Chain A
Amino acid sequence: MWFEQVLFFVAGIGALAGALGVVLLQNPFYSVLSLVAHLLGLAVLFLLLNAEFLAAAQVVVYAGAVMVLYLFVVAYIGGADEPLRPESGGVAVFGPLFAVAIAVELCIAFISSGLQALDTRGADVARAENADQFGSPGAIGELLLTDFLLPFEAASFLLLVAAVGAVVLARRRRGLEEVGTGEASPGGGPAGARGEPPIETLEVRI
């Protein structure tokens, strides 16, 4: 159906453009934004593939939460524009070269007769009314709680660990000078004794 193909190309080009933007833009802020665009393109592609829940999760969780977090950090760090001087050494040459090589190889694998199992259209998917539709939250949820219970629980555990880890990593250490405060003691910054810190820091004490 032509609608589907057009949408595919639009979303695909949007995703690719976003990806290129991430890599080529010098300002990290802009890179984050172009990644967001890339994610939105991918969400459309997911929809085209009948993965509705996943598309929603992508937009809400990935683009909505993770990237916002990213924006916070980029704003805090204030990543400077990278200078435009040429890269030194073979890294600049071989990096993109090998990446291109991998892309070429994969394309050859996909397009040629390498993967015979590639069906052109895809299986017929369930569209019944009473059964959970393919890709619907119900179907995913049922799988998560029956067949894939262990990965589900493990993933939640992993989230917990990550949260704790992030807190531990970013806490203030006693005796270390902090950027912007200029003093070695932890605790609340002195009320106006020094100059205003340029950025409001999030104090977390363990």
Chain B
Amino acid sequence: MDITWYLVLSAFIFAIGAAGVISRRNPLVVLLCLELMLNAGNLALVAFSRMHGGEAGQVFALIVMVIAACEVVIGLGIIVAMYRNRLPIDIDEMSELRG
């Protein structure tokens, strides 16, 4: 297959993830959409690595996966802490940055 197909697919997944980050109010789902975007990036990386023939892209994608895992851990930790402190699990309620 043309690499182009993979890249277009990656673009679509990225766009869907971005729309989800903005549209959803539950922080858990927002994190999931972030995962979507990261995965789209992974797909593009692997596609390019196949195109060039070197495995650097795959290594990069592996590291990205590691980072995604860490980020999920921390994010979930924050959400659990929020829940523990009886804060509403709603992104719109957390507007303390309002200036």
Contact = CB atoms under 8 A, between A and B. Distances in A.
Contacts, number: 240
Given A73-B28, A103-B12, A148 B59 contact: yes
Interface in B55-99: 55-56, 58-59, 61-63, 65-74, 76-81, 83-86, 89
Q: Looking at B55, B58, B83, which has the most chain A CB atoms within 10 Å of its CB?
A: B55
Given A99-B18, A121-B2, A123-B53, 13 more contacts: A23-B36, A45-B9, A62-B69, A77-B89, A91-B23, A99-B16, A99-B19, A107-B11, A118-B51, A120-B4, A121-B3, A135-B58, A159-B69
Interface of B: 1-9, 11-20, 22-26, 28-29, 32-33, 35-36, 39, 42-43, 46-47, 49-53, 55-56, 58-59, 61-63, 65-74, 76-81, 83-86, 89
A168 B58 CA distance: 32
B28 to A, nearest CB: 5
A45 B6 contact: yes
A139 interface: yes
Contact of A20 (B9, B16, B32): B16
Q: Is the interface of A mostly helix, strand, loop or mixed?
A: helix
Contact of A110 (B4, B24, B33, B69): B4
